[in-house]
């Protein structure tokens, strides 16, 4: 039975679901376009998010200018090791990677959205959504039915909106991370230096990020063997003297990478950031993807709202897909190639990075935001490494993880 018509006054232009970097950015951009925008967040803001909080150059460049944000350290030295051995520390030509707390970053981005005119409602979760004609209805945990011309799902890696849109994932990983308070001597040892260790499980690595009197340390590997990953985490933290102290947070979180042709929208419902499974396959860097896709989703929403007919609205949604692919698709494809090479032969990647100066210089330029992963993977050195790595390795390329959404 058709629903009774919804009065125009109760239909917002846009509802954005999730106040992480993708959602807060999308909401700010929508509000800057003059759209009547509601940003819904399930948690109370500020909320904790399992994340290293490392901002590479591409993330810093995508932040709104003048965003008030405290940086706890900037990594200028990078220690690499392979299963705890062959450790080597390299120095960055232009230290860029900023260490922040996600609760503070996401709160600052949400405040920027509110300052631009978005209405922010936290402790409110989307439970379900559907669309009819040019209206999308969002039902919340508070029992409300909210209406909008466009919905942007930026509700992270366990996204309900992604399930609705039908996002399909080529790679799903589990990350385990602890925020560990450290004494002065340990803090001095890590100041200005981060560590990346290529781990014992296929495609895995561990990291230590310095944040003054706290270190963020964790491990990531393909989902499916949590026991082995927990054992790796314990060993990794023990070796770096970070297991003893009582952690401030000790959590796990999924990361997901989309198939290149996975949908980014269904009708007037778009997805951005982790919800769209936009993430670097190798480093699992996702903040720059969230910020950039959030901006594009905000612009697309403005196109849909100002469309004079259905065809124009559909064209604006179609443009979103093409723009995301142009901005981030090449990056994801290149990082997939790098991830395949790394999974096949982490020792080769380690040797190249630590012993072949142009390889480190390329990675350093990427961290600084002066090149992309796609840029790195088209260098003759990376192409040669890819060819040698495939030829040398006896290990078959692992099958993609089963899709989840």
Ligand X SMILES: Cc1cc2nc3c(=O)[nH]c(=O)nc-3n(C[C@H](O)[C@H](O)[C@H](O)COP(=O)(O)OP(=O)(O)OC[C@H]3O[C@@H](n4cnc5c(N)ncnc54)[C@H](O)[C@@H]3O)c2cc1C
Residues near ligand X, by CB under 6 A: 17-23, 40-43, 47, 49-54, 59, 125-126, 154-156, 160, 175, 177, 218, 253, 255, 273-275, 279, 284-287, 290
Locate 199 and state its tokens. 């781990």
Q: Please say which residue, 155 or 364, places its beta carbon nearer to ligand X.
A: 155
Containing 204, the helix (H) or strand (E) segment is none
CB count within 10 Å of CB 130 equals: 12
Judged by CB, which is closer to ligand X: 159, or 345?
A: 159
Nearest to 283 by CA among 58, 107, 90, 121: 58
In whole angstroms, the minimum distance from the beta carbon of 342 to ligand X comes to 17
256's enclosing H/E stretch is strand 249-258
**Which residue has 């007037």 as its token pair?**
268
Report, in Å, the least distance between residue 109 CB and ligand X: 9
Give me the least distance between CB of 156 and ligand X, in Å please.
Answer: 3
- Which secondary-structure segment (H or E) carries 65? none
CB of 132 to ligand X, least distance (A): 21
Determine the Cα–Cα distance for residues 153 and 270; give it in Å rounded to an integer.
Answer: 6
For ligand X, the closer CB: 45 or 307: 45
Q: Which is nearer to ligand X, 18 or 298 (CB)?
A: 18
Take residue 148 and report the two structure tokens written for it.
């909008």
Q: At its nearest, how many Å lie between ligand X and the CB of residue 129? A: 10
129 versus 344: smaller Cβ distance to ligand X: 129
Q: How far is the CB of 157 from ligand X (least distance, A)?
A: 6
The C-alpha atoms of residue 328 and residue 278 are separated, in whole angstroms, by 8
The residue among 276 and 344 lying less far from ligand X, judged by its C-beta, is 276
Question: Which residues are paired to 163 by β-bridges?
Answer: none
**Phi/psi of residue 204, nearest 5 degrees:** -95, 155
CA dist., res. 58 & res. 35, Å (int): 27
Q: Which residue is nearest to ligand X (CB)?
A: 286
Quick one: CA torsion of 301, 67, 43, 304, rounded to 10 degrees? Answer: 0
């Amino acid at each position: 039975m058709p629903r009774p018509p919804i009065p125009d006054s109760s239909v917002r232009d846009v509802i954005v679901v999730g106040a992480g970097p993708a959602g807060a950015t999308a909401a700010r951009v929508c509000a800057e376009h003059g759209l009547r925008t509601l940003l819904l967040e399930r948690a109370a803001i500020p909320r904790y998010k399992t994340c290293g909080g490392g901002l590479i150059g591409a993330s810093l460049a995508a932040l709104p200018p003048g965003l008030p944000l405290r940086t706890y350290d900037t990594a200028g030295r990078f220690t690499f090791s392979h299963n705890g051995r062959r450790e080597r520390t390299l120095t960055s030509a232009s230290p860029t990677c900023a260490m922040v707390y996600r609760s503070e970053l996401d709160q600052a981005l949400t405040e920027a959205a509110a300052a631009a005119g978005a209405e922010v409602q936290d402790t409110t979760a989307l439970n379900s959504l559907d669309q009819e004609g040019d209206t999308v209805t969002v039902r919340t945990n508070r029992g409300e039915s909210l209406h909008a011309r466009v919905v942007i799902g930026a509700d992270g890696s366990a996204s309900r909106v992604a399930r609705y849109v039908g996002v399909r994932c080529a790679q799903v990983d589990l990350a385990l991370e602890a925020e560990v308070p450290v004494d002065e001597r340990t803090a001095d040892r890590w100041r200005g230096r981060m560590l990346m260790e290529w781990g014992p499980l296929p495609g895995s690595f561990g990291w230590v990020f310095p944040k003054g009197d706290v270190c963020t340390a964790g491990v990531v590997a393909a989902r499916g063997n949590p026991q082995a990953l927990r054992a790796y985490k314990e060993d990794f933290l023990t070796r770096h003297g970070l297991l003893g102290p009582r952690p401030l947070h000790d959590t796990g979180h999924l990361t997901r990478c989309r198939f290149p042709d996975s949908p980014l929208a269904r009708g007037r419902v778009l997805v951005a950031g982790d919800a769209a499974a936009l993430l670097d396959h190798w480093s699992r860097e996702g903040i720059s993807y969230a910020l950039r896709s959030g901006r594009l989703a905000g612009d697309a929403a403005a196109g849909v709202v100002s469309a004079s007919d259905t065809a124009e609205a559909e064209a604006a949604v179609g443009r979103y897909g093409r723009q995301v692919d142009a901005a981030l698709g090449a990056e994801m494809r290149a990082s997939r190639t790098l991830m395949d090479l790394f999974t096949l032969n982490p020792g080769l990647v380690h040797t190249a990075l630590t012993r072949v100066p142009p390889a480190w210089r390329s990675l350093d330029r990427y961290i600084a935001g002066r090149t992309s992963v796609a840029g790195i993977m088209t260098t003759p050195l990376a192409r040669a490494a890819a060819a040698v790595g495939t030829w040398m390795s006896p290990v078959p390329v692992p099958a993609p993880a089963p899709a989840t959404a």
